[in-house]
Amino acid sequence: MMPVYKAFSRRFIILSMLLGLLLSGFFGAMLYQKELAIIETDFKRDVDDKAMALERELLANLEVLFAIKSLFNSSEEVTANEFENLASDFLARHHDIQALEWAPKVTGDNREAFEAARREIYPDFEFTERASQGSMTKAGIRDVYFPVYFVEPLKGNEVAFGFDLASNESRLSMINRAIDRDLTLATKSITLVQEVFDQKGFLIVMPVYEGEPSTVSKRQEKLQGIVLGVYRIADIFESAVKHTGATGIRLLLKDNTGADAEELYANYSSDKVLGSLQKSFSYSRSLKRIGGRQWTLIATPSQGYIAERQSLLPFFVCAFGSIFVLVGGGYIFLATEHSTMIREEAVERNRELDEAKLALEELSFTDGLTGIANRQCFDIRFEEEWLRALRDGTSLSLIMVDLDNFRLFNNTYGYIGGDQCLRDIANKLALTTNRTTDLVARYDADQFVILLPNTDEPVLLADKCRINIEKLHIPYQASSVSDYMTVSVGVASMIPTKHRSQADFMANVKELLAQAKELGKNRVGIARDILAANRGDILKFQYSQGRSTE
Ligand SMILES: Nc1nc2c(ncn2[C@@H]2O[C@H](COP(=O)(O)OP(=O)(O)OP(=O)(O)O)[C@@H](O)[C@H]2O)c(=O)[nH]1
């Protein structure tokens, strides 16, 4: 199973990386939005520039009409030459004017005289109107005419020459409105009589009076005629807008005068209009009211317009941020994995070392032949238990077991047989003691020792050991004691005090063992007066004669 710290650090790194990626994306998107906002502002400024250019162009054209009007105001009779000279001068500078015209007010009585005067130069001249089929025809009879009397340039506007503006009802009403109020008025979009393509046009009319009449009736009375500017919307639009920098914008010019909005002109001209139109960026800009008409410019950028102004910064921020997070995170991840691996290896090695140490310790406390505790182990435990008994005032017992005539056994059965005998006896002694605190150790050569902390009846256990060993029935014909291998046992108990030493205690046990040997072997001492003993006395036991204490 994966350790908790490892899973945690992995999760932490992955979460940090995810957070880093999210932040990269967030900052990229934020920059992208910010750029779009800047582009939108720039776009509005570009459109404002175009709208202002259009306004300027219209006002400049209006100025031309005012100049021509001044000519008529300042002169009693303007000749065709004078008109042509002035008008052609303006036209040379204003290429987007289709025509400049003068339409005098002609009463029915004067029609013929007017026609005759123009026929002197233009023999075919007559007042005309548009027939119902669309072709031009001689103007009908009416009280007042507003024929196009002077037109500059004539070339391209021949059809308009002689055209009676009063022949069209709506145009006449617009002209009358201009006359009555002394207004400069623009028509709504019309198809010009001289139009050969499908372009829309408009007229600007400017009444010219004799003097400065201030009432409607006086204006009607003193009216001399109308100065007219004829414009094709596309020409004026292109002329105005083409010099403004930004491209890739779809422009729509609308006339919003009155209730019905009318589309005047749409400009898709730019070759830099790439991709779809970005309608969410659409922007409307109303132009100054000119000639009583309210025009609006509606602009929509193309994808190309926006793309041209977008930088790669948001992309780079997002991409480099992500790369940085992935590379950095990956590096940290690998480094962490590596250090975790090293740490795990170190932990594993320490564990192995601990195990080896434990095994070594076990080995150093184990007797190689019998597998029970060795002398070193016994010495340490004896010291510990002695001190504990001293501290607690409890008893400590020692049983020393020595094989009888083992030298002869070795000589008889060989060392291999002797070794097996030692193993069997060690095993039996270990099985005979039953408390975990008891320690059975090989003390020396054919001697075993049993350490019994806080034990009431060590004599019984000592004799049980002796009996159990004899019951192993390890054959020993040559023994002077029995047909089987036997042991002699020394056993003593004491409650340790500061005035007695472990060495004394051990010496006494050995002494008891030696006495058991002297008395004929295969025997154990029995307690002589254990109950009457004082603390610090070594309790010696009487020795059982024969094979058991019974
Ligand atoms: N097989 C074998 N014999 C050992 C080992 N260690 C010591 N001995 C032998 O054990 C014998 C011990 O003999 P002693 O205790 O001196 O005398 P004993 O013959 O037992 O006589 P008593 O002790 O008086 O009964 C010696 O012959 C040692 O060589 C061992 O690991 N294996």
Phi then psi for residue 252, to 5 deg, are -130, 125
Q: Nearest to residue 102, comparing CAs of 152, 145, 168?
A: 152
Residue 198 counted as domain residue = yes
Is residue 547 predicted with pLDDT exceeding 50? no
Q: Hey, CA dihedral for 115, 116, 119, 123, is it positive or negative?
A: positive
- Residue 544's pLDDT is 40
pLDDT at 305 over 60: yes
Question: How sure is the predictor about 472, in pLDDT bands with cuts at 50, 70 and 90?
Answer: very high
Give the helix ranges, DSSP H, for 189-280.
216-222, 233-241
* Whether pLDDT at 468 is above 70: yes
- Residue numbers of the domain that contains 104: 67-238
What's the structural domain count of the chain?
Answer: 3
| Ligand 1 contacts CB of residue 418 (under 6 A) | yes
- Asked if residue 536 has pLDDT above 50, the reply is no
Q: Does the beta carbon of 490 sit less than 6 angstroms from any atom of ligand 1?
A: no
Per-residue pLDDT of 387-446, as tens digits, reads: 999 999 999 999 999 999 999 999 999 999 999 999 999 999 999 998 999 999 999 999
Average pLDDT over the chain, rounded to an integer: 88
Span 253-304, pLDDT tens digits: 999 888 777 888 877 655 555 678 888 899 999 999 988 999 999 999 988 8
Q: What percent of the chain has pLDDT over 90?
A: 58
ipTM of the complex: 0.94
| Residue 202 identity | F
Closest atom of ligand 1 to 517 CA is 24
Q: Residue 344 pLDDT > 70, yes or no?
A: yes
CA of 447 to the centre of ligand 1 (A): 8
Confidence at residue 170, expressed as pLDDT on a 0 to 100 scale: 86
Distances (CA, A) of 470 to 402, 428, 450, 490, 516: 13, 10, 17, 16, 16
Atom number, ligand 1, closest to the C-alpha of residue 410: 1
Residue nearest to atom 5 of ligand 1 (CA): 445
Strand-strand pairing, 223-232 and 201-209? antiparallel
Using CA positions, which residue lies closest to atom 7 of ligand 1? 445
Mean pLDDT (whole number) for 81-88: 94
**Has residue 145 been placed in a domain?**
yes
Confirm or reject: Cβ of 425 under 6 Å from ligand 1.
no
Give yes or no: residues 324 and 228 share one domain.
no
**Is residue 149 predicted with pLDDT exceeding 90?**
yes
Q: How many angstroms separate the alpha carbon of residue 416 from the centre of ligand 1? A: 13
Long-range contacts of the stretch 173-180 (C-beta < 8 A, 24+): 174/205, 175/146, 175/205, 175/207, 175/226, 178/205, 178/206, 178/207, 178/226, 179/207, 179/219, 179/220, 179/223, 179/226, 180/216, 180/219, 180/220
CA gap 218, 228 in Å, rounded: 21
Pair (232, 342) in one structural domain: no
193 and 166 co-located in one domain: yes
Residue 185, domain member (yes or no): yes
The C-alpha atoms of residue 374 and residue 399 are separated, in whole angstroms, by 15
pLDDT band of 541, cuts 50, 70, 90:
very low
| Residue 288 covered by a domain | no
Which atom of ligand 1 is found nearest the CA of 421?
1
Share of the chain above pLDDT 70, in %: 92
Atom in ligand 1 nearest the alpha carbon of residue 417: 1
Q: For ligand 1, say whether the CB of 369 is within 6 Å of any of its atoms.
A: yes
Give dist(CA 454, CA 393) in Å, integer. Answer: 10
Q: How does residue 550 score in pLDDT terms, banded at 50, 70 and 90?
A: very low
105: pLDDT strictly greater than 80: yes
Give pLDDT, residue 537. Answer: 47
In the predicted structure, residue 366 carries a pLDDT above the cut 90: yes
**Side chain identity at 213, as an amino acid letter?**
P
Residue 86 lies in a domain: yes
Question: Are residues 354 and 417 both part of a single domain?
Answer: no
Q: Which of 370, 375, 402, 410 to mutate to test the pocket of ligand 1 (most atoms within 8 A of CB)?
A: 410
Q: Is the pLDDT reported for residue 140 higher than 60?
A: yes
Residue 84 domain flag: yes
Asked if 458 and 325 sit in the same domain, the reply is no
- Inside any domain, residue 502: yes
- The atom of ligand 1 lying closest to the CA of 419 is 1
Global pTM? 0.58
Which of 249-253, 332-336, 438-442, 543-547 has the least mean pLDDT? 543-547
510 and 450 share a domain? yes
Residue 448 domain-assigned? Answer: yes
Q: Which two tokens stand for residue 182?
A: 């002394």
Give distance in angstroms: CA of 446 to centre of ligand 1.
Answer: 5
Q: Which atom of ligand 1 is nearest to the CA of 446?
A: 10
Taking CA atoms only, the protein residue closest to ligand 1 atom 27 is 407
Among 238, 266, 290, the domain-final residue is 238
Number of the ligand 1 atom closest to the C-alpha atom of 521: 25
Helix axes 4-74, 313-364, angle to 10 degrees: 170
Q: Are residues 230 and 331 in the same domain?
A: no
Mean pLDDT of all residues in 59-64: 92
Contact 385, 398 (CB under 8 A): no
Residues 387, 487, single domain; the answer is yes
Q: Is the CB of 419 under 6 A from ligand 1?
A: yes
CATH number for the domain spanning 469: value is: 3.30.70.270
301, 248 Cβ separation under 8 angstroms: yes
* 508 and 409 belong to one structural domain: yes
Asked if residue 413 and residue 508 are part of one domain, the reply reads yes
The residue contributing the CA closest to ligand 1 atom 13 is 407
**Residue 479 near ligand 1, beta carbon < 6 Å:** no
Residue among 372, 402, 405, 407 to mutate when testing ligand 1 (max atoms within 8 A of CB): 407
How many C-alpha atoms does 128 have within 13 Å on its Cβ side? 20
With a 6 Å cutoff on the Cβ, whether 367 touches ligand 1 is: no
Rg (CA), the chain: 65
Is residue 546 pLDDT above 50, yes or no? no
pLDDT-wise least confident of 58-62, 218-222, 226-230, 358-362: 358-362
Among the candidates 324, 340, 363, a domain finishes at 363
Check whether residue 130 and residue 212 sit in a common domain: yes
Q: Is 98 in the pocket of ligand 1 (CB under 6 A)?
A: no
DSSP assignment string, 129-192: EE-TTS-EEE----SEE-B--EEES-TT-GGGTTBBGGGSHHHHHHHHHHHHHT--EE--SB--
Query: What pLDDT does residue 529 have?
Result: 40
pLDDT tens digits, 490-505? 998 888 888 889 998 9
Answer whether 268 contacts ligand 1 (Cβ < 6 A). no
Query: Same structural domain for residues 351 and 383?
Result: no
CATH number at residue 156: 3.30.450.350
- Token pair 């102004």 is found at 309
Ligand 1: distance of its center to the CA of 362 in Å? Answer: 25
Q: Which atom of ligand 1 is nearest to the CA of 409?
A: 19
- pLDDT at residue 533 above 50? no
Among protein residues, the one with the nearest Cα to ligand 1's atom 24 is 405
Q: What is the pLDDT of residue 250?
A: 87
CA of 409 relative to ligand 1 center, distance in Å: 8
> What ligand 1 atom has the least distance to the C-alpha of 416?
1
Residue 272 has what pLDDT?
55
Q: How many residues in total does the chain contain?
A: 550
Nearest atom of ligand 1 to the alpha carbon of 488:
25
Residue among 419, 446, 447, 469 to mutate when testing ligand 1 (max atoms within 8 A of CB): 446
- Identify the CA nearest to 21 among candidates 316, 312, 323, 336: 323
Give pLDDT, residue 2: 62
**Planar angle of CA 71, 74, 75, nearest 5 degrees:** 85
pLDDT tens profile 446-458? 999 999 999 878 8
Decide which of 363, 393, 424 is a domain's last residue.
363
Judge if the beta carbon of residue 487 lies within 6 A of ligand 1.
Answer: no
